[in-house]
Amino acid sequence: MTTSPATHDGAATGLSEPLLPNRNGVHAGALVVTPVVANGHGGGDKLKGDLKAKDKYWKDVDQPDDVAAAPDLENGGGRPLLFSNRRVKNIILYPYRVLILIRVIAVILFVGWRIKHNNSDVMWFWVMSVVADVWFSLSWLSYQLPKYNPIKMIPDLSTLRKQFDTPGRSSQLPGIDVIVTTASATDEPILYTMNCVLSILAADYHIGRCNCYLSDDSGSLVLYEALVETAKFAALWVPFCRKHQIEPRAPESYFELEGTLCEGASHKEFIQDYKHVCTQYDEFKKHLDMLPNTIRQRSDIYSRTGTKDEDATVTWMADGTQWPGTWLDPTEKHRPGHHAGIVKIVQSHPEHVVPLGVQESNDSPLNFDDVDMRLPMLVYVAREKSPGVEHNKKAGALNAELRISALLSNAPFFINFDCDHYINNSEALRAAICFMLDPREGDNTGFVQFPQRFDNVDPTDRYGNHNRVFFDGAMYGLNGQQGPTYLGTGCMFRRLALYGIDPPCWRDEDIIVDSNRFGNSLLFLNSVLAAIKQEEGVTLQPPLDDSFLEEVTKVVSSSYDDSTDWGRGIGYIYNMATEDIVTGFRIHGQGWCSMYATMEREAFRGTAPINLTERLRQIVRWSGGSLEMFFSHISPLFAGRRLSLVQRLSYINFTIYPLTSLFILMYAFCPVMWLLPTEILVQRPYTRYIVYLIIVIAMIHVIGMFEIMWAGITWLDWWRNEQFFMIGSVTAYPTAVLHMVVNLLTKKGIHFRVTTKQPVADTDDKYAEMYEVHWVPMMVPAVVVLFSNILAIGVAIGKSVLYMGTWSAAQRRHGALGLLFNLWIMVLLYPFALAIIGRWAKRTGILFILLPIAFLSTALMYIGIHTFLLHFFPSMLI
């Protein structure tokens, strides 16, 4: 714990350091002494300490001579290097590679030994188990190969500022269009969405070159009016953030921080500002909560005073006009799935420079001298929806935003966020630009992906939401190849890459831009040509005349994509349960590379489903979408003409991994053999088989020890990854495979379901949602596997009591090894067992009481049944 110098000097000076209350009104200084404001990075010392601990196994990569020389920036020298590469130190990397090679050899020998000793009590099962072992080996190898050369990339923000924010002249940073997508104001809390928008508006980027668009796929008036309220609050929140350099800049997350004030002469002023902004934020939240009732009451009043009876169900806007989107009382042309397209500019482009410190409201008591009060452009968009037309889910919404933003701002870079994420590091947009403008591969970089981090996950991460083995392991590995995959949110694209245009290293001189590919909007076609010619500059809001409004309506119409390349070779890809991995694959296949960005303070944060059912539904959609891609015309087996070999293997693994669950499910049901009266062995000699199997499996965890070191994760992260893969393999993944089979037979895709993010109403427990049990059919196989293992262990104990004196040494050894396999499955399914007991799981140790009781009860039942049959029906035991 660190303390402020003011706490030591307070007695001498007669001054005490004021404590800042958190959102619950509790003074937090006695609990945590982390500065809320520390030059833009609260808890900066801790962050640097954590980064140093994670980086101790990494070293800087020497740059080639032709790019290593520092340019003379003052005299207009060449482009500077804007990020640095780090690789794992040889003392870790070389043993790691050797272990991978040793395990490959061990697996080959193991499978060869099994084929040579093809002796089994159940030959059909033996054949399937050998096929399974071969599949496991190939799947593991395709996942492991990209990690032979992990690379970490660190943006150089100070050099970016020196090059593009030179004092005395306007910023030279390129434009960015930032998109926030939401599909439902009911399933996705409005407060989350508006916090995401506020964090974007307050980001540390040139105000005139950052534009924010909200994509509302529900066409709801409540979201539009919430955005209007957000723009009003942003006029206070954004200057407050700029003045005090606070982090994070999403108010809900910021006001939950606990700590003392930072040092400096502005203590008193900061407290006053903080309290005022906090009070205004509470009022802002009340306004958001009241919006549905406000809109309902307003609509009722307008309807009662209306002149036509048919207008009784109309939803009215605050200006007295009818809302063109979805109405509160749905009717034809005003219901979900059937409403007009809507584009409304909530906050205009800051084209007129406002002098620093000019206050927009005389009522504000805050002093914003020398603070830029301007806000980025803010736009509300709801694309048109028509019955009988395929709207292509999130991909269709993003493509509509891609076209609208081209007409209004046409920034060369385009980044999208899910509505439950927010910018956690105000410099994150600058960090992404570092990779795009770097002189080495910047021009050929199609997108920059950031790790996904979550706020609401329980401390033990019971259901593996953090998934750090993937985000901090596999993605660093792909950084050493062609680049990471697109992960759906927190990813900055080059607009040209989304347009399906080749990278400069592969680009033809003549690029065809016509209506057959891009659609029949002349203004949009001109914007594509301007983007290709790199004429982005500073794009001001165009005049909103009738012709322009007609074009705007056209590009968000439900039929615009018809007979074009949208959703195939242009934009986000259609006809998949998930648009992310297939869109990234299409861009990589054209020759673009991608980067995985690492920042000291995490760039973005969000929320994750901590309820098991919602988590499994999310996994079904992801894994089902991956399988759809594998069995589609853009399968990584043969599509993607410019993919490197290792990158192709990675995509094959990412798309076919759900099939592994079929073999895991087969092995998971092996314990039922304990319920049979006679001994049945899958492989003979059994003891040697089990020993070899243990060695092969143990080597995975030895390799994992090295990954834990260089990836900077913990053993708990690794173990949760193992557990949840097992849980998914007996629940979500087989369900995705079943969906895929139905899709191949009937041509009906996987049903898309928005993950519910509304929290459970429990003020006493922030993780109350985790203890809710929502039974769904996909959980049945896991329940059967779990109880089969409980019965098998109980029966094994009962058999040991009855037969221990008559079993041979080999039988006792076989029994012990088989029991070890049962216990291993139980340990892997431990989080699932906690989930199905609901609120009892708040006491995580309860299973250590319930499970032994279940084992002993089953053993006693088996002994009782066996004794009964022995006395009255002895022939049944023969």
Partnered with residue 322 across adjacent β-strands are 316
| Tokens encoding 489 | 């949110």
Residue 623 dihedral angles phi and psi, to the nearest 5°: -70, -35
The one-letter amino acid at 615: R
Q: What angle do CA 228, 230, 231 make, to 5 degrees?
A: 65
Query: What are the backbone angles phi and psi of residue 735, rounded to the nearest 5°?
Result: -65, -40
Q: Find all residues with CB under 8 Å of 550, minimum gap 6, and list them.
A: none
Please tell me whether residue 671 adopts helix, strand or coil conformation.
helix
- How many angstroms from the chain centroid is the CA of residue 876? 56
Count of C-beta atoms within a 10 Å radius of residue 703 = 20
Name the catalytic one among 217, 418, 438, 561: 217
Strand order in the sheet with 593-596: 342-347, 377-382, 210-216, 176-182, 413-418, 491-494, 445-449, 593-596
| Separation in Å, CA 675 to CA 670, 787, 789, 793 | 10, 12, 10, 10
Kindly state the tokens that stand for 139.
């799947």
DSSP sequence for 78-142: SPPP-EEEEEE-HHHHHHHHHHHHHHHHHHHHHHHHHHHT-B-SSHHHHHHHHHHHHHHHHHHHH
HSE, side-chain direction, 13 A CA sphere, residue 381: 30
In the residue annotation, 217 being an active-site residue is answered as: yes
Residue 714 is classified by DSSP as -
Single-letter residue type at 622: W
Peptide bond into 64 cis (omega under 30): no
Residue 177, strand partner residues: 211, 414
Other beta carbons within 10 Å of 374: 19
Q: Are 558 and 385 in contact (CB under 8 A)?
A: yes
- Strand, helix or coil for residue 830: helix
Measured distance CA(366)–CA(246) in Å, rounded: 16
CA-CA distance, 465 to 451, in Å (whole number)? Answer: 13
| Residue 745: partners with Cβ closer than 8 Å, 6 or more residues away | none
Asked whether 431 and 597 are in contact (CB, 8 A), the reply is: yes
Phi and psi at 401, nearest 5°, equal -65, -35
Q: Alpha-carbon Rg of the chain, whole angstroms?
A: 30
Query: Which residue type sits at 475?
Result: M
Give 358-395 as a DSSP string.
Answer: --S-TT-----TT------EEEEEE--B-TTS---HHH
Which helix H or strand E contains 346, and what residues bound it?
strand 342-347
Residues 6+ apart with CB under 8 A from 133: 107, 110, 111, 114
Burial level of 112, CB count in 10 A (0-12/13-18/19+)?
Answer: exposed
DSSP 8-state class, residue 495: H
Is 443 marked active-site? no
Return the amino acid letter for 618.
Q
Give the separation between CA 830 and CA 843, rounded to whole angstroms. Answer: 13
Catalytic residue among 133, 420, 461, 580: 580
User: What's the CA gap between 423 and 603, in Å, rounded?
Assistant: 6
DSSP state of 449: E
Contact 86, 60 (CB under 8 A): yes
* Residue of 821, 814, 784, 783 whose CA lies nearest to 799: 814
| CA atoms 453, 455, 461, 464: torsion sign | negative
Q: Which residues are catalytic?
A: 217, 580
